[in-house]
Structure 1
Amino acid sequence: MASRLSELFVDAVKNNCQGEVAILFSGGLDSSAIATVAKQFTTPLLITAGVEGSQDLEAARKIASELALPHKEVVLSEEEIVKVYKKCYKIRNGDLLKVELMVPVFSCCREAARAGKWGILTGSGAEELFIGYNRYFRHKGKKLEKLLEKEIQNLPLGDCEAQDLVAKNFGMRAAYPFLYPPFVREVLAMPLKERLGTLNDKKPLLRKIAAELGVPKDAIERKKKAMQYGSGVHKLLLRNIRAIEEELAAKEELKRRKWENR
């Protein structure tokens, strides 16, 4: 079954590698799988955004070198993170957890646009398909299956919508190989027990697929860390979030008053 999924994943990536593309790259399992396949069809630009010394930058640097692909590092200062957060809030407002996810995406899309890329490939959907989030392990059987199906269906209104809006802001398109319909159908048709790992060994099926595809071993074995944490963005935003929210609230109030006084 893994071999069939590997074939479908190659199709998924190939379909999005027409012309100049970039990959939102952390050096982890999901983005490394995309990069490993993409290099068969094009020379993608790998882009990583993060604070100096962050886990994502260090891991991405190593895996990009192993893949022998061009790699752009976007090193974010505290001032830049705050500035980008405010821009992301204008694109799609929400609470800290929703908006902070957009900060590395915004920074990478901006760099991709500067490099003349038409689109950026991301790993969205991998956690839902291959049961990668810790919270999934609080559920079992049919309840877990229903939760996973619901979250996959909701991705176009969640993470994917946010990435779509950010990419569009730079005149680009975001693409999601893990959400290629034939691939999704094949994964969901498998018995849950064949997809489910443990809290200490998540996404075993995807790791098997990655091994078949020739993904570097360090990327296959790297433990998942959410983008806002692996990039170091979350920690710096926490230090500034109160001031940011007060400023944004004041601007909203000013807009409201201007509207009322028209």
Structure 2
Amino acid sequence: MILELTELLSRAVEEKLEDRLAIAFSAGLDSTVIAAIAKKHVHVELFTVGVKDSEDMECSERVAGEMGLPLIPVYLDEKIATNAYEKCYDMLKLDFHRLEIMVPVYCVAEAAAQKGHRVLLFGTAAEELFVGYERYYQYKNEGKDLDSLLKEEYKTLPQREIAWTKKLCNKFDIESRFPLYNKELAELMFSVPLDERMHDRELKKGILREAGKILKVPECVLKRRKKAMQYGSGVHKILLRKRAELDRLYPKEEPNGG
């Protein structure tokens, strides 16, 4: 099954390639798998968003060096993050927790456009396919139907994260692509028993890590316990300090697209 998964991952990424493209990169498993496949075929530039000396930034510099790929750091501070938050709110009208996730997306799209890119790859759908969120484990422990939840959250990505990401990228004339949102990948992974998909609660995405070994993903990535982008990048800390002001200036409205 791991070999079949590796082949499907390779094909899914290859279908989304251009001669020159950018990858939203955090040195996490999802974006590194995409980079490892893409670099065999086309010219790739990695873009990492974060506060200087943040975990994602430091890990990305190390991993990009190991992979021999150029990395463009997109540094954030309070002013940049707050400005991006305002832009994201104006376009998406989401709540704080969703907006803090979209701030790095906005910043990476802007930076990629400034470097002349027109295509940007994201690792969206990995959490649903490979059971990457801790809340999924908690949900299952409560005796709830996790398999149905995973399928529903995967199915509705085009109305949620994918739609929001596309909207932000379109502002910069960037085409966002999502190689892991793939029918064949979904059919394979949802046919695997939940216990097999969830066998590594500490690091999570155990099956994807096994495929990553075959794809020559650096060892430090395979062993890394990845934080969500808003935490690993340092965005959460910045915006949390401004939370009261942001909630007052940008009140929660009904989200576009769900």
TM-score using structure 2 length: 0.93
Contact 1:155–1:161, Cα closer than 8 Å, also in 2: yes
1:159 is matched with: 161
SS at match of 1:36: helix
1:55 equivalent in structure 2: 55
Q: Give percent identity, aligned residues only.
A: 38
Counterpart Cα distance in 2 of 1:7 and 1:35: 15
User: 1:19 Cα shift?
Assistant: 2.5
Residue pairs, 1:66-105, within 5 angstroms: 66-105=66-105
Q: Aligned partners of 2:204, 2:218: CA distance in 1, in Å? A: 18
Q: Using the TM superposition, give the Cα deviation of residue 155 of structure 1 relative to its aligned residue in structure 2, in angstroms.
A: 1.0
How well do the aligned residues superpose, as a CA RMSD in angstroms? Answer: 1.5
Partner of 2:4: 4
What's 2:256 paired with?
Answer: none
Q: Please tell me whether residue 200 in structure 1 is matched to residue 211 in structure 2.
A: no
Give the Cα separation in 2 of the matches to 1:74 and 1:201.
Answer: 26
Superposed counterparts of 1:1-262, under 5 Å:
1-140=1-140, 143-248=145-250
On the 8 A contact 1:22/1:120 being kept in 2, the answer is yes
Contact preservation (8 Å) 2:51, 2:75: yes
Bigger shift: 32-41 or 16-25? Answer: 16-25
Deviation per residue, 1:203-237 (Å, 9 max, x gap): 11010010111100101111121100110001110
CA contact (8 A) 1:29 1:221 kept: no
CA distance in 1, matches of 2:91, 2:232: 23
What amino acid sits opposite 1:32 in the alignment?
Answer: T
Superposed structure 1 runs of 4+ greater than 6 Å apart? none
Alignment coverage as a number of residue pairs: 250
The CA deviation string for residues 170-206 of structure 1, in whole angstroms up to 9 with x for no partner, is: 1111111111211111111222222112431411101
**In structure 2, how many angstroms separate the alpha carbons of the residues matched to 1:239 and 1:191?**
42
Distance 1:200 1:38 in 2: 28
Q: Distance in 2 between matches of 1:222 and 1:198?
A: 13
Alpha-carbon distance in structure 1 between the residues aligned to 2:100 and 2:197 = 29
Larger Rg: 1
User: Which amino acid in 2 is paired with 1:212?
Assistant: I
The AA in structure 1 aligned to 2:191 is A
2:46 touches 2:72 (CA, 8 Å); kept in 1? yes
CA contact (8 A) 2:122 2:176 kept: yes
Structure 2 distance, partners of 1:133, 1:205, is 14
Shift of 1:160: 1.2
Equivalent position SS for 1:103: helix
8 Å contact 2:203–2:223 — kept in the other structure?
no
Equivalent position SS for 2:209: helix
Quote the Cα distance in structure 2 between the aligned partners of 1:246 and 1:138: 32
C-alpha displacement at 1:142, in angstroms? 7.5
Distance 2:79 2:139 in 1: 40
Q: Could you tell me the TM-score, scaled by structure 1's length?
A: 0.92
Tell me the distance in 1 between the aligned counterparts of 2:144 and 2:207. 19
Could you tell me which runs of 5 or more consecutive residues in structure 1 were left unpaired when the two chains were aligned: 253-262
Partner SS, residue 46 of structure 2: strand
